[in-house]
Structure formats: structure tokens, C-alpha cells
Structure 1
Amino acid sequence: MSATVAGAISPDWLALREDADAAARAVELLDPLRAHLAGRPERPLVVRDLGCGSGSMARWLAGRLPGPQHWVLYDHDPRLLALAAARLPDKAQDGGPVTAETRRRDITRLRAADLEGTSLVTASALLDLLTGPDVVGLADACAGANGGAGCPALLVLTVVGRVELTPADPLDAAIAEAFNAHQRRTRGTPVPVTLPQTTARKLGPDAVEAAVEAFTRAGMAVHRRSSPWRLGPEQAALTAEWLRGWVRYAVEQRPELAFAARPYLRRRLDQCAAGELHAVVGHEDLLALPAGG
């Protein structure tokens, strides 16, 4: 879920969530990834970051991988692409140089030939915006369908539809159910990558299971780890903004919730401001490695 301005992802929202994202990502997936990359011939490592936003994934990952590295950053918003390129770390884990280029294109049309020479495909908070066919296409491209060179995929912070709020409220379950249904709606609104509108439904909280199935069927070994946001008083600003979006989209899905949702949101925001609210927002991280990786 993302805060938007005029249909686009807000840079302020991306900045607000960056620390929580960094704390949530499953660092234990990096050891098998580094082991795989150590055996690849590409120098520099070529990393394709799909739906890069303001570049938080590159800022988190570049310094945790050996260099030299060249990042190819994809997004639909030229403002975000400029931010991502300008704020890219200049050094890798071992001090090697890190460079970048930006691209605006439909990532669902990437195929194995487009990934030739790619060391790694990565994305953060993207899979749940895709459809089933999109994920199958991505898995086939990374696996090297039709004879292409396979590359690993590190796909992190995919929502899984689980939210735990403390203290609990009787309306929590209804809001969560409606929000999850909203996330499965037909994709017809702008998303943080250049994607076509389609009559197919977004995967939403079903995306992790769909991706595991798609990458496994494509012959890749899939590692998965939980990566929840754990939000408390120190993240009150993020929690409040997340709550507003969570409730707004739930009501958009089920307008009959509006009457009860207004006081519910006020209660929750008051608890947040008082430092009384804790939230665990479920995500999962996936690492898919080519056969033998």
C-alpha cells in the first residue's frame, strides 16, 4: 500500500517507510545470494531494480553486495528515477564502484533476452501489484526460458494480508478483509512501475504463493522468509499514514463500512499519537536461484 499524489507514488511516503523497510528485509537471504553471485562471470554485477521508486532497495542492497556493480533502475515516474539515481551509493561492500542508469518501460514485457548478462533482478513491494500472468512471465525470464541465461531474483516486502494490531479492536478483522479484497482488484490505476491496465486481477496478498509456484515451476530454487513491519511508538508517523490508507482502501472496497470506519480511524490515530498502538504488518521476502544456485 502506498500513499499517492495525483495518482503517483509520493516521495514523502517512500521516505517515511524507508527505515521500516530496511529493518524488515530478511538479511538471511543475502548469504545464499552472495554465494551464487560469486560464481557468476559478469563484472560488474548487473542488477535490475524493478519499480525502484526513490531507490531505497539500491541504498539497502548495494553496500551489502560485492562490487563493482551497475544498477538498471526501472520506474514510471521520472522524478523518482532521478531521485534513485542521485542517491545511489557509490561504493559496494568491498569498496568497488557502483553506477546506475534509469529506464521507463513496461516491466511485464521483460523476457529472457532482455535479461541477458543480468546478475540479479530485484524489487521491493512490487509482487502484490502484479497479475498471475505477470509473475509467470517474470519467473520465466529470470529462469532463462527459451535458452536465455538464468539469473536470481530477490523480491522483498510483498504483503501477505496479515495485520496484528495491539490493542485489538472489534472492527480490525472487517477492515483487514476488505483491504485484502481491494488489493485483489483489477489493475486499472497507476502503480510504481510502467504497467499496462488489464482486466486481470492483481495478486495482492496471494502474490507470494503465486510467485513460489511460478519460480519453482520454472526450475528455480525458492527461499522465503518473513519480513514484517514491526511498528511501535517510534514509528508513529508511519503507522498513522499506513492506517489512513488501510482504512481508506477498505472503505473503497466495502462502502457500507464507512459509518463505523470513521470513529475507528479516529480511535486508532489517537492511540497512535499517544504511543499506545503497536502494529505488525505481514510481508514476505523471496530469493529465487537458478538450478544449481
Structure 2
Amino acid sequence: MTSISVVSPQWLALRAAADDAARSPELAGELARLLAAGSTIDDGLTIHDLGSGSGAMTRWLAPRLPGPQRWVLHDGDAGILSHVELRSVADDAGRPVEAELSVEELAQLTPWELEGASAVTASAVLDVVTWSEGERIVAACVTAGAPALFSLTVTGEVRLYPADPVDTVIRDAFNAHQRRVSGGLRLLGPDAVPAMAELFAASGWRIRRAPTPWRLGPDDPLLIHQWLDGWVDAAIDQRPALTGVAEDYRRRRRAAVAAGSLRVIVSHEDVLAWPA
């Protein structure tokens, strides 16, 4: 698999507020209860974050979990990891968290990679992995016996207001792009959460899922612009014959953003898995 972090630090910073507003506090609370009930809590927690980017998951989740906490941030992009900033991050008791950075791809993850982990997390990652990489993630979590919280996985559902007849055309082409074959293997794309739930269930684990949509409007013009361009570009890349229609659509939607009249709901799901 190519590097998970195929986006810029600027994009990660731009989407951070929408991500944090969307994440499931209920599943985070359930993870906190599981960890507080665990036998390792007296020695502190070790949490592995896969495809960590610049550390957004750590910044959001650490204050919601008991501690002390040590985070291991894994990402295939050393440049992205250089933007990690966690000096002000603390656990639920106000203790600073420790952090270690690890440059590596999920394709290199072994079943023993997460040995000693108290929990495993990831954010906006599962939709860009393949079935075999999903199996690797599940095997590593099961081997470690560590509950896993995966946040902000796209579901393929997008709603724009006011509606446009081309919305579904772009959506379907984008979703096909998300499910494209890469390196001879098909990406999970919008099927990622059901696929991972199936893999964990087959290992006898329990699963909870929660909807975590972005809700964007007139206060989010820059994020809508960037998201829209990525959405349309992927659709064109998947179906070049759409270029003319898609570019006309892009112009209409940009005009609506400029007028402050466009609202967008981009659906995601969070999933929590833990040993039964």
C-alpha cells in the first residue's frame, strides 16, 4: 500500500474542527470505561494510533481517557509526522501524555506489532486500506487483546443542499474511485466499516458503531471548497468521460459556496471493537 498520509498538513489542519465535532464521544466514553476496567491501568496505558497524521486523534481522545498515557503514532509519511504537536495534550486527570513516532506503512504491520498495547486507534484510515490490510489490523488487535476505536470512516453517503441532479453522478463515481484496485488489491472504500466489523466479529469480538457526519455550511467555505475539489477530482479520475459535466457542476457548486447557500453532510462512521 502507498503511504496513508497522501494529504498535506494544511488539509489536516483545515478539517480538524469538523473532524472533532463529528467524532463519537459515546464510543470514546465506552473505550474509557473498558480501559478503566482493564488490569493494565495501574501501570498506565499504551495506545497505538495507526495512520496518525499530525496527531489529531491523540489531541481529541487523550483528554477523554484515563492515564498515564503513552501514545505510539504510526504513519508512513515522515513529513506528516514532523508536524505532530502534543506538548499541551493531557489525560483526563491533566497529566501530560508521552508520545513516540514510528514511520511505517500498515502493509508492514505484523500480528505482534501491537503487543503490549492497551488500545488501538485510527482516524480516516480504514477506507483507504484493502481487505488484506484490514485482516492485518484485526489480527494485530486480537493478538494484543487491545480494544480498537476507528474514527471517521467514510460511508459513501453525501447530501448537498440545495440538491443538484449531478450530485448522485459525482457521488457514484467518487465511491467507485474509493473502491478502486490499487497495487492489484481493491480498497475497502465505503465498505470499510462493515468489512472491519465482519472481521472482528469472526474473531469473537464485540462491535459498536456510531454515525459521525460532517455538517458543513456557510461558516466552512474553505473546507467545503477543498472537500468539493477532492470529491470532483476523484470522480473525474475514475470516469474521465464526466469531465465536462463535472467541471460545470464544480462551477455551480463553487458559486453556491461563495453565496453562502451550500450545505453539505458527508457521512462517516466510528466503530469500537473489543474482546467479548
SS of aligned partner of 1:9: coil
C-alpha distance after superposition, 1:236-268 (max 9, x if no partner)? 110111001100110111111111111110110
C-alpha distance after superposition, 1:200-249 (max 9, x if no partner)? 11010111110110011111101000000000111111011100110011
Match of residue 142 from structure 1: 141
1:222 is the counterpart of 2:176? no
Distance in 1, matches of 2:72 and 2:24, equals 22
Distance in 1, matches of 2:57 and 2:186, equals 26
Distance in 2, matches of 1:24 and 1:80, equals 22
1:45 is the counterpart of 2:30? no
Deviation at 1:122, TM superposition (A): 0.3
TM-score w.r.t. length of structure 2: 0.94
Deviation at 1:151, TM superposition (A): 0.4
SS of aligned partner of 2:248: helix
Match of residue 16 from structure 2: 18
Contact 1:62 1:89 in 2 (8 A): no
SS of aligned partner of 1:83: coil
Match of residue 99 from structure 2: 100
SS of aligned partner of 2:122: strand
Distance in 1, matches of 2:180 and 2:147, equals 29
C-alpha distance after superposition, 1:156-214 (max 9, x if no partner)? 10000000000000111110000000011122xxxxxxxxxx31110101111101100
TM-score w.r.t. length of structure 1: 0.89
C-alpha distance after superposition, 1:71-99 (max 9, x if no partner)? 00111222221221x33544211122300
SS of aligned partner of 1:239: helix
Instruction: Report 1:27-176 matches (<5 A).
Output: 27-42=25-40, 43-84=43-84, 86-144=85-143, 149-176=144-171
Distance in 2, matches of 1:224 and 1:64, equals 18
SS of aligned partner of 1:251: helix
Distance in 2, matches of 1:207 and 1:105, equals 21
Contact 1:67 1:97 in 2 (8 A): no
Distance in 2, matches of 1:112 and 1:219, equals 17
- The amino acid that maps onto 2:73 is L
C-alpha distance after superposition, 1:14-68 (max 9, x if no partner)? 0000000000001111222111101223322101011111111111011111111
- The amino acid that maps onto 1:175 is I
Poorly superposed stretches of 4+, deviation over 6 Å: none
Distance in 1, matches of 2:94 and 2:218, equals 36
Q: Unaligned 5+ residue runs, structure 2? A: none
Cα pair distance change 1:123/1:89, threshold 3 Å: farther
Deviation at 1:109, TM superposition (A): 3.4
SS of aligned partner of 2:264: strand
Distance in 2, matches of 1:263 and 1:38, equals 53
Distance in 1, matches of 2:184 and 2:165, equals 34
- The amino acid that maps onto 2:275 is P
Contact 2:205 2:275 in 1 (8 A): yes
Contact 1:59 1:88 in 2 (8 A): no
Q: Unaligned 5+ residue runs, structure 1? A: 188-197
Identity of aligned residues (%): 49
Match of residue 190 from structure 1: none
The number of equivalent residue pairs is 271
RMSD (Å) for aligned C-alpha atoms: 1.5
